[in-house]
Amino acid sequence: MLKELFDKNKYVIFAGLSTLSLITSSYSIFSISKSVDQISSELEPITAWANSQNECITKTFRIDGKNTQGMPSKVWSCNGGGN
């Protein structure tokens, strides 16, 4: 009896499972998208700071009239180092 019921309704059963699977997948994609958007928003201040640091480092050639060779002194200057 159960086999007959399944044989008569197998297409409906599989269509229902497919629909459920699509709904679940859509919800998962929506949740992931929302999470990525939230993370992106939270990283915005860090991105702005990194951009300002990169700009400062590329424009820094001299500190107090002295030629500062090397990245460490440029980073030091851009982060408020010095007297």
Backbone φ, ψ for residue 82 (5° rounding):
115, 175
Q: What angle do CA 17, 20, 25 make, to 5 degrees?
A: 125
Reply yes or no on whether the pLDDT at 62 is more than 70: no
Mean pLDDT of 2-9: 86
pTM above 0.75? Answer: no
Residue 35 vs residue 69, higher pLDDT: 35
Q: Are both 49 and 73 inside the same structural domain?
A: yes
pLDDT by residue (tens digit) across 18-59? 999 999 999 999 999 989 988 988 999 999 999 998 898 888
Task: Tell me if residue 68 falls in helix, strand or coil.
Answer: coil
Q: Is residue 2 part of a domain?
A: no
Mean pLDDT of 61-77: 72
Domain with 49 in it: 44-83
| Tokens at 77, concatenated | 């200057």
Q: Are both 33 and 67 inside the same structural domain?
A: no
Q: Are both 49 and 81 inside the same structural domain?
A: yes
Q: What is the number of domains present in the chain?
A: 2
Q: Is residue 72 part of a domain?
A: yes
CB atoms under 10 Å from CB of 74, counted, come to 20
